[in-house]
């Protein structure tokens, strides 16, 4: 009964458009005042405690990394690499857009950072080449959804902390699913471009001299990707150390190699990182307190018993979870969903014999897809705002791309090896 009242209160506060962390905070406060015979100091501790986890230091480092990326010149050089690989194909610039998102996802860690940067960079150029602005916006938004899955996605870090799973394993587990999403998106884009008659961006495949020239400019960025992923995979450094290392390398690239970064860019990036980190931390703290309340009420065990009573088949459970997460992702910010639901679902995940790393990738991809869907899809709204595309036009153009991502989700759900093969 207590949990039903608490859930109804949270939904009511969400409905009146209250800030997410504030709605969660008030729900926890309401619980401690009216239902729990526990000192109020415990409530405060449950808010502050999650912020003391040293592993959370990885989040500001990777947010700063993604913010700095737009000032380094790395994106422009990585675009040239993508053009070398797919520019000769039909719809070469649209394909390069997806490929660039995949490459940049291995550096920036934030789908919103990628979507913001590439909306300004790619959409005007695609429009000049004859692509409709709405299609260019849809391609850019869809490609940015690869970022949460490709290491070092911030969602991978948060899930690892909440589910008590190795963040290094989560990073490695995201590689193949991210590449699968990229491949299916590129195939879909190629088919659409073929039907619409969009032309390649180049007439001939690059010769050896051009390859050498482009790779000579792009090698620092490529080394950075390998260093981040390889360093974590082979236990050279922790995810937090990887974030700090990556920021240091990006500063070197921006100031001394490409020489496009200024001190004012760093100052601006630090301010933006402070704001973004504060927003993420407030949600983490409030969501963790709610998760603690659920644990106190044994909601996780009760939910696990209920689910296992309905089905003992893990794939039936995963199908049901996919449906619920896709629906919730349309309405609520993904980080909050993950922090609240993971502690509730993990008992059932363990009882049904589902690999928690595999479950994490399924969950993160679900919530990433949610950012592409109305009414509150954050990536959709961001891209539409930057590119001045109407939401209805965006939805029409993103339909097939949405189906491609759903196909990737289905494959990843039913073939756990896609997530676990490299661990």
**Spacing of C-alpha 72 from chain mean position:** 22
**Domain contains 369:** no
Overall domain count for the chain: 1
Cα angle at 59 between 345 and 26, to 5 degrees? 55
Q: What is the pLDDT of residue 403?
A: 96
**Domain contains 34:** no
**Domain contains 115:** yes
**Cβ contacts of residue 286 below 8 Å, gap of 6+?**
20, 21, 22, 24, 25, 28, 47, 336
**Domain contains 137:** yes
**Domain contains 26:** no
* Among 74, 71, 153, CA closest to 109: 153
Q: What whole-number distance in Å separates Cα of residue 180 and Cα of residue 125?
A: 26
Q: What is the pLDDT of residue 134?
A: 95
Q: Which domain holds residue 91?
A: 50-275+386-420
Rounded to the nearest 5°, which phi and psi values hold at 102?
-65, -45
**Domain contains 231:** yes
* Among 239, 114, 221, CA closest to 171: 239
423 and 172 Cβ atoms separated by less than 8 Å:
yes
**Domain contains 266:** yes
294-323 per-position pLDDT tens digit = 777 776 667 667 776 777 788 998 998 888
Q: What is the pLDDT of residue 304?
A: 66
Burial label for 388, CB within 10 Å (0-12, 13-18, 19+), is exposed
Q: What is the pLDDT of residue 344?
A: 81
210-235 per-position pLDDT tens digit = 899 989 888 888 888 788 877 877 77
The token duo for 300 is 């996780």
Rounded to the nearest 5°, which phi and psi values hold at 218?
-95, -5
**Cβ contacts of residue 291 below 8 Å, gap of 6+?**
162, 339, 340, 342, 343, 344
Q: Return the percent helix, strand and coil in the chain, to nearest 5.
A: 80, 0, 20
**Domain contains 141:** yes
pTM, 2 dp: 0.84
Burial label for 136, CB within 10 Å (0-12, 13-18, 19+), is buried
Low-confidence ranges of the chain (pLDDT < 50): none
Angstrom distances, CA of residue 304 to CA of 58, 286, 323, 348: 31, 23, 17, 4
């Amino acid at each position: 009964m207590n949990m039903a009242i608490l859930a109804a209160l949270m939904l009511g506060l969400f409905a009146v458009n209250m800030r997410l962390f504030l709605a969660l905070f008030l729900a926890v406060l309401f619980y401690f005042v009216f239902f729990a015979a526990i000192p109020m100091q415990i409530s405060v501790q449950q808010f502050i405690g999650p912020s003391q986890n040293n592993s959370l230091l990885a989040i500001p480092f990777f947010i700063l990394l993604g913010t700095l990326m737009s000032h380094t010149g790395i994106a422009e050089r990585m675009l040239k690499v993508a053009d070398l690989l797919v520019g000769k194909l039909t719809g070469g610039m649209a394909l390069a857009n997806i490929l660039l998102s995949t490459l940049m996802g291995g550096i920036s860690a934030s789908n919103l950072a990628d979507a913001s940067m590439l909306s300004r960079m790619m959409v005007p150029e695609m429009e000049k080449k004859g692509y409709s602005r709405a299609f260019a916006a849809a391609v850019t938004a869809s490609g940015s959804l690869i970022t949460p899955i490709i290491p070092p996605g911030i969602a991978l870090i948060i899930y690892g902390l909440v589910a008590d799973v190795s963040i290094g394993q989560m990073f490695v587990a995201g590689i193949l699913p991210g590449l699968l999403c990229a491949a299916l998106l590129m195939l879909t884009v190629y088919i659409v471009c073929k039907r619409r008659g969009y032309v390649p961006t180049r007439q001939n495949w690059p010769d050896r001299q051009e390859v050498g020239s482009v790779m000579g400019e792009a090698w620092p960025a490529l080394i950075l990707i390998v260093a981040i992923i390889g360093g974590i995979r082979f236990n050279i450094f922790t995810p937090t150390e990887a974030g700090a290392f990556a920021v240091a390398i990006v500063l070197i690239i921006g100031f001394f190699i490409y020489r496009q970064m200024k001190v004012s860019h760093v100052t601006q990036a630090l301010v933006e990182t402070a704001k973004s980190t504060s927003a993420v931390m407030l949600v983490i703290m409030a969501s963790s307190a709610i998760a603690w309340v659920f644990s106190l009420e044994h909601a996780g065990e009760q939910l696990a018993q209920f689910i296992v009573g309905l089905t003992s088949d893990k794939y039936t459970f995963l199908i049901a979870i996919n449906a619920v997460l896709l629906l919730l992702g349309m309405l609520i910010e993904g980080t909050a969903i993950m922090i609240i639901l993971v502690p509730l679902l993990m008992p059932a995940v363990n009882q049904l014999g589902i690999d928690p790393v595999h479950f994490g990738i399924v969950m993160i991809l679900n919530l990433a897809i949610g950012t592409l869907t109305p009414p509150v899809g954050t990536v959709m709204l961001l891209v539409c705002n930057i590119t001045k595309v109407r939401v209805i036009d965006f939805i029409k153009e993103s339909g097939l791309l949405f189906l491609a991502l759903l196909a990737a989700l289905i494959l990843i759900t039913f073939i756990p090896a896609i997530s676990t093969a490299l661990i």
